[in-house]
Amino acid sequence: MKKIILLVSLIFGFTVASAETITATYYGTEIDLSQKNNPCKGPTDGGAEVIVVTNVSSVKNAPNRTVVQRTYKLPSGEILKTDREIIDSPKPAVLHNLFPHQYPKVNY
């Protein structure tokens, strides 16, 4: 995972500072990878299970930019999808927006 972030930083010309990794498991009746956060639809007892690993890293030379990388996997370890986005907000604000219960709002 760190190799991918290093490759991205070399391509886009920035270096990534410390990363937060959040792993969540979602359940449903079907998988819809077009949804960003919860890729499962329907009742949670439907048999579909997806593990989403989210890495949130601030950009070292641009502290108001944050890299968010998500990896969607099946319980067997098969990777379904990987996506990456760069957000023009500081890391604490991005963490709060993505995971408000785990990361309380930080006033600047």
DSSP letter assigned to residue 43: -
Q: How far apart are CA 101 and CA 40, in angstroms?
A: 20
> pTM (2 decimals)?
0.75
SS3 content of the chain, % helix, strand, coil (to 5): 20, 45, 35
Of 14, 16, 100, the closest CA to residue 57 belongs to: 16
Per-residue model confidence as pLDDT tens digits over 20-51: 999 999 999 999 999 877 899 988 887 899 99
